[in-house]
Structure 1
Amino acid sequence: MAGWRVPRSGRVLQAMLGVQILLAGLIVAGDFQRVLPGLFRSGTAPPAAVPVRPGDQTRRYAPRDLPSEVPAGPDFPRSDSVPARLQFTETEALGRKTLLLEGAIEPGDSQRFAEYLDQRASLPEQIALHSPGGSVTDALEIGRAIRSAGLPTLMQSGAACFSACPYILAAGTERRVSRDALVGVHQHYFGESTLLPAFVAVESIQHGQGEVLDYLSEMEIDLRLSARAMQTPPASIYILLEEELTEFKLATEMLE
């Protein structure tokens, strides 16, 4: 109709929609600007199996491809490929009845772990680890269950413990780590997409990081461990040196 004009209320709604689209574009653009450099940096880093030295400890993080160059010991039944979620294998290591937790830590694995322990006639004497990490929440819950049960943790020769896995290692009443094992940390997503509105993403990250700091304090681990993690992009992994493992109290004993 000639001369027809959009009502004032319609123009206001159109303006609000335009602003929302603009804000969404800015958030997404800012998110990609923040995420992509980290991804490119990780692409130039060497793989995790390359030996580290002071100042050269950042490696590529491939959660489905844990390093296997270091031979596993005879009492470490490491799988050829990384299980898609935690597997529980009863074995013996260093003269102790051992429960090996191997594979990615998926949501719900903490409940599976608790049920597994409840169904056993007796508890293992220690918990061994070989995991690329995964769900931080589940790792913290598994760790608290291990500490409550008074169990030691173990990293055997040829084992790797990345991302959320070190939080489980931290729970052991004793924490013995082989010099041929790899322990690494990095930033976490805390289960949220990077494309959330900025205020939601920041709130989620702050809450998740607060839970991690509370947990590390509870386990009497040096909070410098969390600083190393926050300085490392999610697509990379920071491999801890022997001195850091002991200084941060993540290892109470280093094994040959």
Structure 2
Amino acid sequence: MEIGRLIRKRGLDVAVGKTSFYECDPDQKGCKPKYSDGAYAGFAYPGWAACMSACPFIVAGGSKRFVGLWAELGVHQITTTVTKTMVKYQTRYRIVKGKKKIVDTKIIGRRSTGTYKTTELSKGYRKRLNAYFNEMGVDAGIVAKMLSIPASDISILDHDELLNFRMTTGPGDVGDFSSASTCAQEPKPANCIELSAIVTK
């Protein structure tokens, strides 16, 4: 949620997309970066891009929010990992005029007594989720949708659901923010920068 708030504070737009690399993928053997700063050449592409689980919290932060027709946004229950810890304290006392007063307390031991996972949310945390989506201009009903889908499953929101929950602000996809023509505008958006290509001799 804090990432989403930071995005909104900066007035940034968000679209679901994936990177399609030119020539070769960075994880391919022998694939070398095209630019002197180590960047690989590619472009943002909406096809088969996926934003699942916690990702929709980030999308919600966008001033404009696009999920293209070939992109997917999915939600499910939130899983919390709870770790129980036993802590041992040592407390020193002093008797002053017949009354016991604490001098100091320090931790002398700590050990884990077990870990478990749960999808149950406290009323307070659910209230925080509702408040976050309301703050972002997204219908808080999306929280109920999330909690209705088992954590082991995922629900891909269809076009109507995206609009009804206001997860998207209108039609469009990542190409609206990242096409080459975007940087041909004057003045250029702040994210339009020119990289120096590696010159091979």
TM-score of the two chains, using structure 1 as the length reference? 0.41
Q: SS in structure 2 opposite 1:192? A: strand
- Give the match for residue 16 of structure 1: none
Alignment partners' CA distance in 2, 1:184 and 1:251: 13
- Superposed CA offset, 1:154-191 (max 9, x none): 11322111111101101100001111011011110134
The aligned runs of 1:139-150 (5 Å cut-off) are: 140-150=1-11
Of 114, 134, 138, 1:221 maps to 138
Whether the 8 Å contact between 1:152 and 1:172 is mirrored in structure 2 is yes
Shift in Å, 1:253: 2.0
1:196, distance to aligned residue in structure 2 (A):
6.8
Report the identity percentage.
34
Kindly indicate whether structure 1 or structure 2 has the higher relative contact order, using CA contacts under 8 Å at least 6 residues apart: 2
Q: Corresponding residue for 2:76?
A: 186
Structure 1: gaps of 5 or more residues? 1-139
**SS of structure 2 residue aligned to 1:183:** strand
Give the distance between the partners of 2:3 and 2:68, measured in 1 at CA. Answer: 22
RMSD of the alignment, in Å? 2.8
Does 2:152 align with 1:235?
A: yes
- Alpha-carbon distance in structure 2 between the residues aligned to 1:192 and 1:184: 25
Q: Is the 8 A contact 1:175 1:253 kept in 2?
A: yes
Tell me the matched-pair count.
115
Alpha-carbon distance in 1 for matches of 2:115, 2:64:
40
**Structure 1 residues 201, 174: closer, same or farther in 2, change over 3 A?**
closer
Shift of 1:254: 2.5
After superposition, the C-alpha distances for 1:108-145 in whole angstroms (9 at most, x for unaligned) are xxxxxxxxxxxxxxxxxxxxxxxxxxxxxxxx010000
Show structure 2 runs of 5+ residues with no match.
Answer: 18-45, 84-113, 174-201
Pick closer, same or farther for the CA change 1:201–1:221 going to 2, 3 Å. Answer: closer
Matches of 1:188 and 1:210 in 2, distance apart?
Answer: 14
Q: How far apart are 1:255 and its partner, in Å? A: 2.8
Distance 1:248 1:201, change over 3 A: closer
Per the alignment, in what secondary structure is the counterpart of residue 5 of structure 2? helix
Letter of the structure 1 residue corresponding to residue 51 of structure 2: C
1:210 aligns with 2:127: yes
Contact 2:78 2:119 in 1 (8 A): no
User: What is the alpha-carbon distance in structure 1 between the residues aligned to residue 13 and residue 119 of structure 2?
Assistant: 35
CA distance in 2, matches of 1:243, 1:160: 17
Q: Following TM superposition, where does structure 1 have runs of at least 4 consecutive aligned residues deviating by more than 6 angstroms?
A: none
In structure 2, the CA distance between the partners of 1:216 and 1:233, relative to structure 1 (3 Å rule), is same
1:155 matched to 2:16:
yes
Task: Give deviations 1:234-255, integer Å, cap 9, x for gaps.
Answer: 0100110001101111001233
How many angstroms apart in 2 are the aligned matches of 1:191 and 1:167?
A: 19
Determine the C-alpha separation between the residues in 1 that align with 2:170 and 2:82. 36
Q: TM-score, normalising length from structure 2?
A: 0.51
Q: Which structure dedicates a bigger proportion of its chain to helix?
A: 1
The 3-state SS of whatever aligns with 1:171 is: coil
Counterpart for residue 246 of structure 1: 163
- Checking the alignment, whether the CA contact within 8 Å between 1:190 and 1:208 is kept in structure 2 is no
**Secondary structure, aligned partner of 1:254:** coil
Distance 2:81 2:126 in 1: 12
Match of 1:207, as an amino acid?
G
- Radius of gyration: which is bigger? 2
Q: 1:229 to 1:255 in 2, by over 3 A?
A: same
Amino acid in the other structure paired with 1:227: A
1:176 matched to 2:66: yes
Report the structure, 1 or 2, having the larger strand content: 2
